[in-house]
Amino acid sequence: MDQIRLNRLEELLKEEIAQLILSGDVKDPRVGPLLSVTRVEASRDGSSAKVWVSSVGEDKDVLELAVAGLSSASGYIQSQLAKRVRLRLTPVLRFVADHGIKEGFEMTEKIKGLVKE
């Protein structure tokens, strides 16, 4: 798959998975509506995809629980993707916690504290 099609696939998966989480279709209690899909990285053949998930207000343990909930619901999410999006083959999803947003926020707070002093 060329790079342009791969980028389009990743963006489409990102939007659809985020919509599933936001609408509350994923019934696992560990998965809250405050999760956001930050990045999707699909394999070259489109058979698998790694999905980074983040949450701004949650601590690391809650985010890890949410990722575990998404991982257990990955079959359901894949089936919903297959119904919503017309693809030759629906990628196998693997969810990963993305701590980058929280770490970036903490870093800005530290820099603001240094500037005040």
Q: Give the contacts of 48 (CB within 8 A, at least 6 positions apart).
A: 42, 91, 92, 93, 94
Q: What range does the domain containing 88 cover?
A: 3-116
By mean pLDDT, which of 11-20, 60-69, 71-80, 86-95 is the weakest?
Answer: 60-69
Q: What is the pLDDT of residue 39?
A: 93
Exposure string for 23-34, b = 16+ CB within 10 A, e = fewer: eeebeeebbbee
Q: Report pLDDT for 43.
A: 93
CATH number, domain containing residue 112 = 3.30.300.20
Residue 57: per-residue pLDDT:
67
Structurally, how many domains does the chain consist of?
1
pLDDT, mean of residues 95-117: 81
- The pLDDT, as a whole number, for residue 106 is 78
Q: Is 39 exposed, middle or buried (0-12, 13-18, 19+ CB in 10 A)?
A: middle
* pLDDT tens-digit series, residues 28-77: 888 887 888 999 999 999 899 999 998 876 677 888 888 999 999 999 99
Q: Which two tokens stand for residue 21?
A: 């989480």
Q: In what order do the strands lie in the sheet with 48-54?
A: 36-42, 48-54, 92-97
Q: What is the pLDDT of residue 104?
A: 77
